[in-house]
Amino acid sequence: MDIHEYQAKEILNKFGVAIPDGALAYSPEQAAYRARELGGSKWIVKAQVHAGGRGKAGGVKICESEHEIQDATNEMFGRRLVTHQTGPEGKGIYRIYVEAAVPFEREIYLGFVLDRSSQRVMIVASSEGGMEIEEISAKKPESIVRSTVEPAVGLRDFQAREIAFALGIPSELTQQMVRTLQGCYRAFTELDATMVEINPLVITSDRRILALDAKMTFDGNALFRHPHIAELRDKSQEDPRESRAADRGLSYIGLSGNIGCIVNGAGLAMATMDTIKLAGGEPANFLDIGGGATPERVAKAFRLVNSDENVQAILVNIFAGINRCDWVAEGVVQALQANPVDVPVVVRLAGTNVEEGLKILAKSGLPIIRATSLMEAAERAVSAWKNDLSQNTRMRIVK
Ligand code: ADP
Ligand code: MG
């Protein structure tokens, strides 16, 4: 789960990371008022969206009067900000963070990620902050410092000092840098984060180390341990299809194709998507309805997949191991009878009680397209979609 910059800053600040003064606003008037409260004569207004690259996309603006703040934020509020990380649909701007503009001398990149190969938290840092890490690794790979943390002992001061040294932090600031690194590491581990990124971390003109940007991502499976973090979820920043699925306990990732997938098991869902592509189609989603595909879950999955306007055919691929095909087939039939869908539906069942399952589908009288192998199922879904397009009509599944 992602959170906003201002939320990440507040959290990291509690762990000892220094940040500029700032305040949140929900309207241009409030933004101007916040600036007055903060004092000073230069402010940065920052669109709060769950994506980076805001600066280049017009989501971060420097303002020198309350008037400028009103104008700049008026432009931003309610708009969708498109950055290279958001996709073409962008993310809605409903909150703006007003921050004191801080003169700085140097920008540093600092990231904490989970390194799967070493199974440890890895600190990635670079003296070339301000650019995205991808750009740094393309243009200045030699500037990147990597260091993994031994979990049994945690991040020790000497290791943090080594990182500060490798980044060329002036010696009088080493202690502040160590405090910043320690704070991020503690926040990362204590809050079950999967990513903490500060870009840029700056050395200010008055010799302080400050986080001018902050990003945190949390492990969704650990949120039950951190209710105060779970509360920070902002549905306005999520793909509405994904938030609906999450609310219904389904693992769903929306994609841009037009063949909807309903599959049990994440591995099988991945294989199904691959096979659809191999057959010349594009999956509209990843959807794992879980091992125990009850009729209710199947019905929820149908409603979810069918609510996606791009979906022009639905492929149900179920492998019944512990589950039973006849039971799943009942679920499919019940779901389609209760909620008719207006696109062709291809069903492939395999595993326990497959014969009974197929009989139930056949007996239902529903125009379900059946398939035996995964490849056949994918090909049928693709050709159902193509025929559908050429005739410009949709096969209706009715009661
Ligand atoms: P993003 O990474 O989404 O583009 P940032 O928060 O990193 O957004 O802001 C973009 C740039 O704006 C930063 O790299 C920094 O140069 C500048 N900036 C951001 N906040 C401040 C601030 N409080 N004072 C001065 N400059 C800032
Ligand atoms: Mg940034």
More confident residue, 395 or 316: 316
Mean pLDDT across the chain: 92
Q: Which two tokens stand for residue 396?
A: 């209706």
pLDDT tier at 131, thresholds 50, 70, 90:
confident
Cβ atoms of 177 and 210 within 8 Å: the answer is no
CA 70 to ligand 2 centroid distance, Å: 23
94 a catalytic residue: no
pLDDT tier at 321, thresholds 50, 70, 90:
confident
State if residue 202 touches ligand 1 by the CB under 6 angstroms criterion: no
If asked whether residues 52 and 123 sit together in one domain, one would say no
109 a catalytic residue: yes
CATH code for the domain of 273: 3.40.50.261
If asked whether residues 160 and 303 sit together in one domain, one would say no
Q: Rounded to the nearest 5°, which phi and psi values hold at 215?
A: -140, 135
- Between 325-338 and 354-363, two packed helices, what is the crossing angle to 10 degrees? 20
If asked whether residues 60 and 171 sit together in one domain, one would say no
Catalytic residue, from 5, 6, 97, 109: name it. Answer: 109
Q: Please say which residue of 70, 101, 132 terminates a domain.
A: 101
State if residue 54 touches ligand 1 by the CB under 6 angstroms criterion: yes
Binding residues for ATP are 46, 53-55, 99, 102, 107
Q: Which domain holds residue 202?
A: 104-237
395 has pLDDT over 50: no
pLDDT tier at 328, thresholds 50, 70, 90:
confident
If asked whether residues 231 and 262 sit together in one domain, one would say no
Q: What pTM was estimated for this model as a whole?
A: 0.80
245 has pLDDT over 70: yes
Closest atom of ligand 1 to CA, residue 129:
14
2 has pLDDT over 90: yes
Q: Please say which residue of 237, 271, 303 terminates a domain.
A: 237
Mean pLDDT of 359-388: 92
Binding residues are 46, 53-55, 99, 102, 107, 199, 213, 264
379 has pLDDT over 80: yes
pLDDT at 29: 97
Cβ contacts of residue 136 below 8 Å, gap of 6+? 109, 126, 128, 143, 144
If asked whether residues 83 and 201 sit together in one domain, one would say no
- Distance, in Å, from the CA atom of 100 to the CA atom of 87, rounded to the nearest integer, reads 30
Cβ atoms of 276 and 261 within 8 Å: the answer is yes
State if residue 129 touches ligand 1 by the CB under 6 angstroms criterion: no
Looking at the structure of the chain, the number of domains it has is: 3
pLDDT at 389: 58
pLDDT at 322: 80
Residue whose CA lies nearest to ligand 1 atom number 22: 101
pLDDT tier at 398, thresholds 50, 70, 90:
very low
If asked whether residues 117 and 95 sit together in one domain, one would say no
CA 113 to ligand 1 centroid distance, Å: 21
117 has pLDDT over 90: yes
Q: Please say which residue of 75, 101, 127 terminates a domain.
A: 101
Cβ atoms of 204 and 102 within 8 Å: the answer is yes
- Distance, in Å, from the CA atom of 238 to the CA atom of 224, rounded to the nearest integer, reads 19
